[in-house]
Amino acid sequence: MRLDEPNGRIDAFANRLKKAMNVRRMKKAELSHQTGISQQRIGQYVHGRYEAKQSAVYIIAEALSVDPAWLMGYDLPMEPAGGICKQKIADADLKLALFGSAKVSDALLEDIKHIAKIHLELSRKKNCVSRKKDETAVGFKVNSE
């Protein structure tokens, strides 16, 4: 499949999306829940009926833990590049970074991780709501004649 063919880009995205969902064992419903993109829209992406906007590609790639460029059909590894945001950080390093000392209780660190996860989830939900508003916003002009 060539990306420069009329539907090549859409087909490449659809095929890569299917592959990533299979590898991650993720159903459309779960992907929809994690991204805030409707199941119907994800189905349209999977079947190649609709081309995803770049913002949606990034959101989907993050949820599936794949490289966004790979998802768009580029000849790259499926796994995202090992940037600092994607690397697991050892608890001792995290304690040192947050508190300047490794002498912090594991319970406190777990509480902080839990709070961070809640904050991330709320942040994602807020972004999903604003994306849904953007998707449903319709501009029109009324003739006064």
Q: Are residues 58 and 109 in the same domain?
A: no
- Would you state the structure tokens that stand for residue 145, as one six-digit string? 């004649």
Tell me the residue length of the chain.
Answer: 145
Q: Are residues 74 and 118 in the same domain?
A: no
Residue owning tokens 């090549």: 8
- Verdict on whether the full-model pTM lies above 0.95: no
Parent domain of 128? 88-138
Instruction: Dump pLDDT digits (tens) for 39-65.
Output: 999 999 999 998 889 889 999 998 998
Give the integer Cα–Cα distance in Å for 97 and 80: 24
- Would you state the structure tokens that stand for residue 131, as one six-digit string? 């994306």
Q: How many domains is the chain built from? A: 2
47 within 8 A of 142, measured Cβ to Cβ: no
From first CA to last CA, the distance across the chain in angstroms is 51
